[in-house]
Structure 1
């Protein structure tokens, strides 16, 4: 088939590599001038590092370079993806600096017409493809809230940007900076600019639990959360393994004690009580919608006064002080100078190049994506999604998702009947809604159940790892190399 892939991040590149190996002609579009998706030089914010250690954050057939640090920088991740392109000869498949303006089903719905525009050029003629893969990412379209008084802030010389748009420390030097949010990007940015900004204020509507990279300054968190045991500490929708049934049954007290112990050590190590930054709820809430590591230097700077945190509050409006300088008025009654406002306030989940009619066929009445296995829509033909499942193992998850798509296109998947798939996805989204209290990224959030997702995809193809291989992952961090032969096993089956 001739396949269009929109997005050149982990998911788009994995799709190109795997599907090319199955004999398909693949074209990858991305409006940025480099590969990487959220790791692109045009999108990564200053101070961006991975949350995973380098050993778990890679494709199965290409480990991260040995000289990389334990937690690679954004620049290093992007360089790794460039290496992936070179290793697998994907350069000719790439159309960088090329935005997909529109993708529409043909009149007979037997394929797609993709209209694109190269940077600086006019919109091109539509190009026909047999299949379309949406890999534009769920973390690529930042949300900037509609603040009251924004025009007044801008007239006073203030500036508002998303965290992903802050590419240089110089933009914050000697400025009074307000960082909105308390997730990874917000805390990363605050810690990075703290030493150079005049003031750094974090405005957090809700505090999140954070986990130190090394618990007790000794135990790498990869042995806690990047194992199957770590994942099993949190209740999945179904309890399939004997260990999970034990942990959430007779062994629930043991499981609860393990989680509580990690929380107690984290709270003490990060000095959350001393700083007045203990989040509401229980430490187990850390896996409700995202799992966030503590940013290096963040709490130290809070302790030193370089960063101030206004918890359980938000910006009510922007205005100016008596001297005409921009300020933010907060819901706790305080005001803070706001020369630069950096928003780490989440992302839109949308596919802007699809028309309203097609988009409506992808979503339920609450705006949630209904995708079987986070990949296959119910009612739009010749379309699959890649990377629409936030994962702790993004490269591996993208690769296995691409293998699943290859099997689907080859006709070797025995899918349940459509109505069964509809019911399955509806139940999954309802479960996400309740588990995350609505913070499920419109049906695309599977964290922390990354390996359950991988198991389900491979189970559909009867390609799962052996019992002993998976048992090893219960105590040791998941090593993507264990999945290196999966693509070849499917290729042998289909004769590709």
Structure 2
């Protein structure tokens, strides 16, 4: 069977590795000149670092180098993925600098057209691994033409890769998530002025609570995941969230108070609205080092509960006008305003078969579309332990292609996905990337995937994960066990 994989990030590379082990012919396409997806040098904004520590953000078969810092830089993650390609011999199957322009499903398989040469390729199966952060969402601002005529520039944070472009300029960063805060700190070291315009403040977690307790022991464990109610809770989670049990709220409230004190949020006027449990609605955001220190010393200014209403020119110089009517100088507007989840190489008719009437992807286990044959998705699962989740999804895809999964009927799959999407909508307040990502429920998704494969890890491993950060190496034999189950490796 010939399989095409679109995307050479964690999900695409992990899928290629698993499918090659199973004997499939694999070709991986990516429009970037290097592997990495969001970690590619073409998307790597200044200040980019991981939110997971290096141990939990690695593939199960290959730990990150011991000399890496606990939270590696974007460049280090990309080098790690390069090493994964080298160690497992994936180079010959990569087609980098090759964008998939269109993918059409026919009676016997897929026809892919790649640009710019319009080369045609045929495959039996297609794996979409283009990432849940595929296209940056840059707002449409009135007055942009006048603003740019005055010398201003607008771009997404992922499109801003040269720090020197901010030197001695007035910079406005829109957003308050990870990329917005990361890039704000980076540019504030060279810019004339740096302002952050935040429509809504988010709760952020210090890497070390109280300067001592590493956040990975709080949230990168099953206990951390269990603090938030899941659609299908385990027996212990039912006790955690059962009647009369206020322990989880007390714990989260204690963390909230500690975060407010440690970051001096009260004095800075940056205490977010709502309670700390909202940190997990759509993204768990770590504090960018030096962010609040630079707010305190005036290097950074945060305009909270504000939006950019329009771009304009004032006395011939580019400015941004805020919703309050105030104008701020803005030679450069960097938008950390999220992503639109898109599969641009599919036709509108095919997209309609993949999504519900609200634009959510209908994917069983975040992998299989019930109504489109010869197609699976990798990396569309929960994003907290994204490398491990993508690897386990790859094992699921391999088992599916080998005919080793006992799947429910399409109607039942659609019903289960519909129930999951309704819950995601409620839990995340609508911020679930079209049904492709909701955190912090990665381990639940991994458990469900491995349950389908009858290859789950043992109870002792899971017990350790309740108190200790999840170690991906605990799952390194899943692929080998799958091969043995299908008689492909002794």
What is the TM-score normalised by the length of structure 1? Answer: 0.97
Q: Which among 458, 465, 469 is matched to residue 450 of structure 2?
A: 458
Structure 2 residue 385 is the aligned partner of structure 1 residue 393: yes
C-alpha offsets along residues 56-104 of structure 1, whole Å, 9 cap, x if unaligned?
1100010000000000000000000000000000000000000101100
User: Which residue of structure 2 lines up, in the alignment, with residue 157 of structure 1?
Assistant: 151
The partner residue of 2:340 within 344, 348, 353 is 348
Segment of structure 1 superposing worse, 410-419 or 84-93: 410-419
Aligned equivalent of 1:403, options 395, 405, 420: 395
Instruction: State the secondary structure of the residue aligned to 2:122.
Output: strand
Unpaired segments of 5 or more residues in structure 2?
none
- The structure 2 residue matched to 1:182, chosen from 157, 161, 176, is 176
Residue 123 of structure 1: aligned partner: 118
Counterpart residue number, 2:280? 287
Rounded to whole Å, the distance in 1 between the matches of 2:245 and 2:407 is 35
- Note the 1:482-493 alignment, pairs <5 A: 482-493=474-485
Task: Determine whether 1:368 maps to 2:360.
Answer: yes
Residues 150-299 of structure 1: pairs in structure 2 closer than 5 A: 150-240=144-234, 242-250=235-243, 252-299=245-292
How many Å separate the matches in 2 of 1:393 and 1:445? 11
8 Å contact kept, 2:382–2:445: no
In the alignment, is the contact (CA less than 8 A) between 2:382 and 2:389 conserved in 1?
no
CA distance in 2, matches of 1:164, 1:204: 18
Q: CA deviation at 1:495?
A: 1.3
Q: Deviations over 1:114-133 (max 9, x none)?
A: 1112xxx5221x21100000
Please state whether the residue corresponding to 2:434 is helix, strand or coil: helix
1:417 and 1:165 map into 2 onto residues whose CA distance is: 43
1:435 is paired with a residue whose SS is helix
Distance in 1 between the 2:244 and 2:396 partners?
Answer: 34
* 1:75 is the counterpart of 2:70: no
- Structure 2 distance, partners of 1:390, 1:417, is 24
Give the corresponding residue for 2:462. 470
Aligned residue in 1 for 2:42:
42
2:202 and 2:4 mapped to 1: Cα distance? 38
1:18 matched to which residue of 2?
18
- Deviation of 1:195 after TM superposition, in Å, equals 1.5
Counterpart CA distance in 2 for 1:266 and 1:64 is 29
Q: What is the match of residue 112 of structure 1? A: 110
**C-alpha deviations, 1:214-242, integer Å up to 9, x for none?**
000011000000000000000001112x3
User: 1: distance between equivalents of 2:137 and 2:399?
Assistant: 35
Look up the match of 1:435. 427
1:9 positional shift: 0.2
State the Cα RMSD in Å.
0.9
Pair 1:380–1:434, CA change in 2 (3 A): same
Displacement of 1:250:
4.9
Query: Taking structure 1 as reference, are residues 251 and 454 closer, same or farther at Cα in structure 2, changes over 3 Å only?
Result: farther
SS in 2 for 1:443: coil
2:328 partner SS: strand
Matches of 2:43 and 2:180, distance apart in 1: 14
The CA distance in 1 between the partners of 2:447 and 2:338, in whole Å, is 28
> Which shows bigger deviation, 215-224 or 388-397?
388-397
Match of 1:252, SS? coil
Q: Give the equivalent residue in structure 2 for 1:304.
A: 297
**2-side partners of 1:221 and 1:156: how far apart?**
45
Contact 2:134 2:342 in 1 (8 A): no
In structure 1, distance between residues paired with 2:323 and 2:185: 24
Give the match's secondary structure for 2:339.
Answer: coil
Deviation beyond 6 Å, 4+ runs, structure 1: none
Deviations 1:283-311 (A, max 9, x none): 11101111000100100000011111111
Give distance in 2, aligned partners of 1:313 and 1:398.
36
8 Å CA contact retained: 2:132, 2:437 = no
Structure 1 gaps of 5+ residues are none
Distance 1:445 1:140 in 2: 13
Tell me how far apart the structure 2 counterparts of residues 417 and 6 of structure 1 sit (CA, whole Å). 27
Q: Distance in 1 between matches of 2:299 and 2:292?
A: 10
User: Normalising by structure 2, what TM-score?
Assistant: 0.98
Tell me the CA shift for residue 338 of structure 1: 0.7
How far did residue 255 of structure 1 move?
Answer: 1.2
Q: Partner residue of 2:4?
A: 4
- Residue 261 of structure 2: SS of its match in structure 1? helix
Q: CA 1:161–1:390 in 2, change beyond 3 Å: closer, same or farther?
A: farther
Quote how far apart the aligned CAs of 1:208 are: 0.5
- The CA deviation string for residues 387-409 of structure 1, in whole angstroms up to 9 with x for no partner, is 11241111111110100101111
